[in-house]
A and B are shown apart, each in its own frame.
Chain A
Amino acid sequence: MALDKAALVEFIYQLVAKAQGKKQLKAMDLQKAVLKEHPDQNKNDVKFAIKDLIDTGRCVYTYFGGSFVELPHEEGAAKKV
């Protein structure tokens, strides 16, 4: 069954949180993971749920040879303070 907006956002957040430090997930990985569990979920809902996570700052886009969705973390390349 398709998730409502708030539940979908939380579902995606948990996917990102569980993968943090182990696997970097692209937006499409998240979409595929959602559709695997909830095949009737609209793909656009997934896009906007990711947007919600980014706009609220709970997740960030990162670039490490490809663009990923991750939890905010320290920039490894920056000078350690």
Chain B
Amino acid sequence: MSDTPLIDQLETGPWPSFVKDLKRVAARKPAAKDLLRQLDRSYKDKITHWKHGGIVGVLGYGSGIIGRYSDLPDEFPGVEHFHTVRVNQPSGWFYTTQALRDLCAIWDEHGSSILNVHGSTGDLIFLGTTTDQLEPCFAKLTAKGWDLGGSGSAMRTPSCCLGMARCEYSCYDTMDLCYQVTQEFQFDMHRPSFPYKFKVKCSGCPNDCVASVARADLSVIGVWKDDIRIDHAAVAAYQAGEIKPRGGGSPYDKLDVKADVTDLCPTACMSFDGKTLKIDNKNCNHCMHCISLMPQALRIGTETGATLLLGSHAPILEGAQMSWVIVPFMPMESPYDELKELTANIHEWWSENGKNRERVGELMLRLGMRAFFKGVGLEPPAQTVRTPRANPFFFWHAEDFEAEAAGRKYIKL
């Protein structure tokens, strides 16, 4: 009889199974065999048998290694230590086959051979090694030009969509920004000094393929300021069924421009009379629905940059929070000094005021947007107003009276 009867059942379904993969690895790696046996035991006992380590790492770094131990080391000696190594992924997850072979060879030699490509952090994850293998593994990685990613109360490895490398919608060079932010904040990535984790994710357009609005403390989402460019001949071709919607990625052959595009515009800023498509660009909220459906007819504007949003996270108890606009538009050009300076200011304000394990979004809600803007030195723009005010009281500070007396204007013409 198999010693993993419960997880064996997972192989019987119609989908590819991780159990099958692990069994293949188990033929040459005892760690994988004990990993399967311990998992089966957890299914039986209905509890995890993993313990979180708190000390292991490589010299000089406080991030990148996550300690894992079995609480049944005598029963499953192969996973007595089963530490995770986070390897900083290349921007856009582009690898050469040689680079992948190098990584696999290193992990075959120093770990369980089990990879997670990629973890939800964005890093390439090496799953399962022992404490004594960490330093030699790290040495081999760095010799090949790789570095560890972030973990713990640190700047996490920034990630990005593949941007201009393959996507015509990208409003800025996400891969370049991701690389430059990674380089700029190396100290904060490897030496945890924040109240809690801080994630930066860069999306080239509001389609937000890396889901930065839901997953990043700082979301950098590409956007344009001017008008959507319209090719009226292509609009007619879509209407006539000569061009397939969504670049052929839709189950439908033909688009009804009015029903499928303009009537579904969330701000009703578009109209189509059967011949001419009109867009009231002032009221467009850049949802990308129309552009994604008719990519040959509509294109993003030419004055491009990014919207910065802050604060998304998903705590189990309180529920998820999306990022909140803090800068409606920032030009995104190398060397991105404005963004780097603002990010450093946010770190400073958060580190000064945040409690242990308080994400920057939670701090922003606790102290209020007013305190946040003042703390990081930003002007509060109207786009940060998420809901109409419900509180009739306004608390004036002494400096407000002084500014009033000095002739402060609230509406900038």
Contacts and interface: CB of A to CB of B under 8 A. Distances in A.
A79 B80 CA distance: 7
Nearest to A70: B55
Interface stretch (A1-9, A13-21, A47-55): A47-55
B67 A26 contact: no
Nearest to B151: A63
Contact of B195 (A28, A73, A76): A28
B187 interface: yes
B152 A78 contact: no
Q: Is the interface of B mostly helix, strand, loop or mixed?
A: loop
Interface in B50-64: 51-57, 59-63
Nearest to A76: B54
A75 B55 contact: yes
A47 B73 contact: no
Given A62-B54, A63-B152, A67-B152, A57 B192 contact: no
Contact of A65 (B67, B131, B357): B357
A77 B55 CA distance: 9
A26 B57 contact: no
B193 interface: yes
Chain B interface residue bracket vs A: 20 to 34
A65 B191 CA distance: 16
Contacts of A66: 152-153, 195-196, 356-357
A62 B63 CA distance: 9
Interface in A17-66: 26-28, 47, 50-51, 54-55, 57, 60-66
Nearest to A44: B187
B69 interface: yes
Nearest to B192: A67
A44 to B, nearest CB: 10
B180 interface: no
B192 A27 contact: yes
Interface string B1-19: 0000000000000000000
Contacts of A50: 191, 193
Contact of B59 (A28, A55, A67): A55
A28 B53 contact: no
B244 interface: no
A55 B60 CA distance: 5
B357 A78 contact: no
B189 to A, nearest CB: 12
Contacts of A63: 52-54, 62, 66-67, 151-153, 192
B81 interface: yes
Interface string B327-363: 0000000000000000000000001100011000000
B53 A75 contact: yes
Given A54-B191, A78-B81, 14 more contacts: A26-B195, A28-B193, A51-B187, A60-B55, A60-B57, A61-B61, A61-B152, A64-B54, A65-B357, A66-B152, A67-B152, A77-B52, A79-B69, A79-B80
Give the 7 A-B residue pairs with the shortest CB-CB distance, closest first.
A61-B62, A67-B192, A27-B193, A67-B153, A67-B152, A77-B51, A79-B73
10 contacts: A27-B191, A27-B193, A54-B191, A55-B59, A62-B55, A63-B67, A67-B192, A74-B55, A75-B55, A77-B51
